[in-house]
């Protein structure tokens, strides 16, 4: 069954353009906060994309409305949870964010409003992010007696550096789109009415490139901070060699020499 044929309770899937999937966190009445059902929905979507990318070449992750991208975990649902229930729910969220990071297709976050707690962590787990001028960020977990638990302590230092990450996480202080761009969390900032077009523009550019090349390059870049330079380069060469026998490699060189736009098929 095609992914778009599925209906989810807390997430809406849309075809944003040719080869571009939009994942919309769709609980605007709760500032798109992540409850247990959203954890199940997102985990299933990301697992499906890991197993079968269908013909999707780029993915946009955003929230419904202009108020919030995602306000983090739903604290109303969590109020009064037993330790066991909390830990079971968090295990689901752990699986969700790991599945997000494992999706072979690039995921671009379009941060349309507040991204607090787990919302910031979902942005950090994306491949990169654009934001609107009214985007706000905070990792407020330490103000609630917990700490970031959706890879925030791992992805934030990789984005902003260890010292800035400590300041953000240990203070729980909120910050805006301009700071997020300056520190490396957002790649660019746009007026709210221009955000969608800006994200679509970069996604169209990505989707127009060779799909196998994009997936292999993403995989190799992700390894760069995990291993030493020599072993990272060996991984890069293995990833590179996967593309030599592809039809897309032949088409790319042929299109260049014929002075036309390449027509990639992902084969």
66 annotated active-site: no
- What is d(CA 32, CA 135) in angstroms, rounded to the nearest whole number? 14
* Catalytic residue of the set 29, 77, 141, 238: 141
Q: Kindly state the helix (H) or strand (E) to which residue 248 belongs, with its residue range.
A: helix 247-257
Tell me the β-bridge partners of 176: 136
Q: Which residues contact 69 (CB under 8 A, 6 or more apart)?
A: 25, 32, 62, 63, 109, 111, 112, 113, 114, 115, 119, 122, 123, 135
Exactly one of 121, 167, 194, 238 is catalytic; which is it?
Answer: 121
CA 60 to chain centre: 8
Cα dihedral 8, 12, 15, 21, rounded to 10, equals -90
> Residue written as tokens 């995921």?
107
Token pair belonging to 212? 């196998």
User: For residues 3 and 54, is the Cβ–Cβ distance under 8 A?
Assistant: yes
141 is catalytic: yes
What residues are labeled active site?
A: 121, 141
């Amino acid at each position: 069954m095609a992914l778009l044929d599925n209906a989810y309770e807390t997430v809406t899937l849309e075809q944003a353009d040719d080869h571009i999937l939009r994942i919309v966190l769709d609980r605007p009445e709760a500032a798109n906060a992540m409850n247990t059902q959203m954890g199940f929905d997102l985990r299933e979507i990301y697992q499906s994309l890991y197993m079968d990318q269908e013909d999707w070449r780029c993915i946009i992750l955003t929230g419904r409305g202009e108020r919030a991208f995602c306000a983090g975990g739903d604290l109303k649902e969590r109020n009064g949870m037993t330790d066991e229930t909390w830990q079971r729910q968090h295990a689901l969220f752990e699986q969700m964010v790991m599945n997000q990071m494992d999706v072979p297709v690039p995921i671009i976050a379009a941060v349309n409003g507040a991204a607090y707690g787990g919302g910031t962590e979902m942005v950090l787990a994306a491949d990169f992010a654009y934001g609107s001028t009214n985007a706000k960020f905070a990792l407020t977990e330490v103000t609630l007696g917990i700490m970031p638990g959706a890879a925030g302590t791992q992805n934030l230092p990789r984005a902003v550096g260890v010292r800035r990450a400590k300041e953000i996480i240990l203070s729980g202080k909120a910050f805006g789109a301009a700071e997020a761009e300056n520190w490396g969390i957002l790649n660019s900032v746009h007026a709210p009415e221009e955000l969608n077009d800006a994200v679509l523009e970069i996604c169209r550019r990505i989707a127009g490139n060779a799909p196998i090349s994009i997936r292999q390059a993403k995989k190799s870049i992700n390894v760069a901070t995990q291993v030493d330079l020599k072993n990272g380069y060996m991984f890069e060469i293995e990833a590179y060699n996967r593309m030599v026998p592809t039809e897309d490699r032949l088409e790319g060189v042929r299109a260049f020499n014929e002075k036309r736009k390449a027509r990639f098929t992902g084969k």
